[in-house]
Structure 1
Amino acid sequence: MTSDGATDARLLLMQLLDPANRADPYPLFARIRRLGPLSMPESRMTVFSSFADCDAVLRHPQSCSDSMKSSVVQQHLASGAMPPRGNTPGFLFLDPPDHTRLRKLAQQAFAPRVVRALEPEIDAMVDRLLDAMAEVGSADLIADLAYPLPVAVICRLLGVPVRDEPRFSSAAALVAQALDPIMSITGAPDPQADVRLQAGAWLREYLGELVERRRAEPEEDLISALIAAEEDGDQLTADEIVATCNLLLIAGHETTVNLIANAAQEMLRTPAHWAALAADPSLAASIVEETLRFDPPVQLVMRIAGADLRIGAIDIPRGDTMLLLLAAAQRDPAMYDRAGEFRLDRESARHLSFGLGPHFCLGAPLARLEARLALAKLTARFPKARLNADPVYKPNVTLRGLATLSVAL
């Protein structure tokens, strides 16, 4: 690509950061996808937006998640433009063997038997939330259902007191925004980086104190289990325990909030879909999968080439960054029939919303369960619900989601 072409690519990608495109980024994703892979030599980054290319990157054994393998990051570290990594990252941002070791310990909280055992509790939580909504006669589906449900569940699994939710919610939201590829796209530091770093430091301190309390008084939760694993010789450090809990606390609710809300909004926009689920709760699973494809909670991910790679017709040098626009890939007409339509009768189409390979989302069964129960019960309880106001979106690009979704019940 010529230098002018790279500049055009950067300008196009910068539109993804524009809040004006947050409510509907899909026309922009379609424009990018039609251009094919975008090469940005100055950033040492290639942007992929087709399903085939994104799928190939996620499957490649040399597709890495550790940002320290990025040539640009190494250049910034060498020049002093970026401070050394001071905190242990969550295992989502590590590669084997560290990723394997930490994930293996964390996945015990999401084992199929644990998720199945949670179903009656989640069912009861949904009923309580819907009862409260019924008393008022209207609701903000974010504040009244999509947010409190997954927060309560992940707090229950980790052992984080749900009464502390007001303390950690704003910090977690700021940390989630740090996933947006602002520097990779603009070439300039994120102007809010310091605020997000401070929020992350506070959240780690909060979790560190909680870990020390569990060390003194263990309970039946994941924090206590991780501490026990450390003492059994799995060599978890205190920083690794905090980083794992930090990742699961944020990833364990932010994405599920978006999944529930995006599905509800799409059905409210097409009342026939809402009525169909109200009449037949078995449709909930199909609606969840179609939402994951059509309006995914995670819109994009980054990978680093751990070796020289070839993706499709593109050569990627070792150390280069690959930006995968999953939200574009999952409306790729080369992969899906009538890709731009939300269809209840779509055959079980494969999607990339939970990732692939070693980084496949370990919380996927829990997220699916929470969303199915919430949506089936919501539509059955309020079969004539309708949108009450225009929805409002959070500023997030990567974890794009609704801030409010007002409905009349």
Structure 2
Amino acid sequence: MTVVSDPFAPEFRTDPSPSYRILREAGRLHEYRPGIYLVPHYADCSAIFADPAFGHGYFSGINPFRPGVDPRNLPGSFLLMDPPDHTRLRAMVAPAFTSRAIDRLRDQITQTAITLLDTAATAGEIDFVADIAYLLPLTTICTILGIPRSDHATFGIWASAISRGLDPDALLSDNDKQARATAVLAFAEYFTDLIARRHADPGTDLLSTLVTETPLEIKELVDIAVLLLIAGHETTMNLIATGLLALAHNPKQREILRADPDSSRFAVEEFLRFDTPVPFPTRVAMQDLELADQTLPRGTGFILLAGSAHRDPAAFTDPDSLDITRFAPGRQTSRHLAFSHGPHFCIGAPLARLQAEVLFTELMRRTPDFTLLDPTPPYRESVSMRGPQSLPVRIPR
């Protein structure tokens, strides 16, 4: 079976937009593998996100992306679940991630961002991914969970293995799957020990709250901790890195942001649309249904091409251009789908937004004259998480 264009092909890793355009022009649904379809249009992706007839199907045994794999051995906790279990577990974590709760972290995040930027300016030349985009969200989510600073570096190795392993198994090598399994076990052992310590001596962190105030079992606590660490770190890292890359390639937009650093909160929404950190979320038909004039059975898989939806001219004016004022008040535009919407809307969206907003505000205030040393940096192999592998830049003192 040959799809008209394969957005996962290596030649589209740096810039998948040509593949997206071909798919959108060729139709609404494209069978990528037997029983698995690509969905390239904004209207269809948005409708599927909102429709409870689409879920994940892991615990119903109908998920076609990892057939035969026990979901209890996969990272993701309630991310892999459907109601009512998804609703139950999400509700226990949600209070810690409201906009009001997250905004209490603003001063701490700002201080971390300033320290990282000042250190970068002193060094002169850095890898923006490793030295800033990676460290800011890792420090933040570890602080929220109450993970000792001495353990942060170790987590990065495990998190990378799990993030790569979030791709459909058909796209992974045996080594990738083994690294994922090893990292899952390592995280489980670490968090089981940390949970025991929180039982004996709780603190004020989120993990202590979950341990002392919810009826969650140890396995559920471990799975939630791993989910929050991965989702709260990797996606924000890529958002920050691709945002910087977009500004570097669009100097007029950089000057607009430089003139008004506080507008970073609107610019971040455009970064999320322009180069979506999670470009290929998946859904599964939880019942027989009709879509794009086709009758599709329960268990059909859908790869929602959010990156393509965000370049759909039916939804966005001049979609291939960066416009950091696109989401400013008073502008009329479609909402982006970077955080999904509906029952599986990303619980960490307020945290990701705040960290990126703070980072770009401080970047524009302190060191706006950065220079990109590699105009076409390599992107990570992962298709589930999109971002540059490295980003060498020069930051003047």
The answer to whether structure 1 residue 288 and structure 2 residue 268 are counterparts is: yes
Q: When you count helix as a share of all residues, which structure comes out higher?
A: 1
The answer to whether structure 1 residue 199 and structure 2 residue 183 are counterparts is: yes
Counterpart for residue 42 of structure 2: 51
Q: Structure 2 CA distance, aligned partners of 1:94 and 1:393?
A: 30
Counterpart for residue 391 of structure 2: 405
Counterpart for residue 278 of structure 2: 298
* Runs of 4+ deviating beyond 6 Å: none
Q: Deviations over 1:359-391 (max 9, x none)?
A: 111111111111111011112212322212242
Q: Structure 1 CA distance, aligned partners of 2:181 and 2:50?
A: 31
Instruction: Name the SS for the 1:139 alignment partner.
Output: strand
- For residues 108-127 of structure 1, the aligned pairs below 5 Å read 108-127=95-114
The Cα shift of 1:42 comes to 5.9
Counterpart for residue 208 of structure 1: 192
2:16 to 25, 40, 60: 25
The answer to whether structure 1 residue 16 and structure 2 residue 8 are counterparts is: yes
| Aligned amino acid, residue 201 of structure 2 | E
Q: 1:345–1:212: structure 2 CA closer, same or farther, 3 Å change rule?
A: same
Instruction: Name the SS for the 2:290 alignment partner.
Output: strand
1:353 to 327, 338, 347: 338
Q: Structure 2 CA distance, aligned partners of 1:267 and 1:41?
A: 34
Do the aligned residues in 1 keep the contact of 2:113 with 2:358 (CA within 8 Å)? yes
The Cα shift of 1:87 comes to 6.2
Do the aligned residues in 1 keep the contact of 2:113 with 2:136 (CA within 8 Å)? yes
Instruction: Name the SS for the 2:334 alignment partner.
Output: coil
Q: Deviations over 1:200-239 (max 9, x none)?
A: 2212221222111111211111111111133xxx3x1110
1:161 to 148, 152, 165: 148
Do the aligned residues in 2 keep the contact of 1:392 with 1:404 (CA within 8 Å)? yes
Q: 1:302–1:75: structure 2 CA closer, same or farther, 3 Å change rule?
A: closer
Counterpart for residue 276 of structure 1: 256
Q: 1:72–1:141: structure 2 CA closer, same or farther, 3 Å change rule?
A: closer
The answer to whether structure 1 residue 381 and structure 2 residue 354 are counterparts is: no
Instruction: Name the SS for the 2:59 alignment partner.
Output: helix
- For residues 73-112 of structure 1, the aligned pairs below 5 Å read 76-77=67-68, 82=69, 85-86=72-73, 89-112=76-99
Instruction: Name the SS for the 1:192 alignment partner.
Output: helix
| Aligned amino acid, residue 139 of structure 2 | A
Counterpart for residue 3 of structure 1: none
The Cα shift of 1:182 comes to 4.5
Q: 1:72–1:263: structure 2 CA closer, same or farther, 3 Å change rule?
A: closer
Counterpart for residue 293 of structure 2: 313
Do the aligned residues in 2 keep the contact of 1:67 with 1:304 (CA within 8 Å)? no
Instruction: Name the SS for the 1:392 alignment partner.
Output: coil
Counterpart for residue 363 of structure 1: 348
The Cα shift of 1:162 comes to 2.7
| Aligned amino acid, residue 342 of structure 2 | G
Which 5+ residue runs of structure 1 have no aligned equivalent?
Answer: 1-6
% same residue = 36
| Aligned amino acid, residue 220 of structure 2 | E
Q: Structure 2 CA distance, aligned partners of 1:157 and 1:72?
A: 32
Return 141-150 or 20-29, whichever deviates more: 20-29
Instruction: Name the SS for the 2:8 alignment partner.
Output: helix
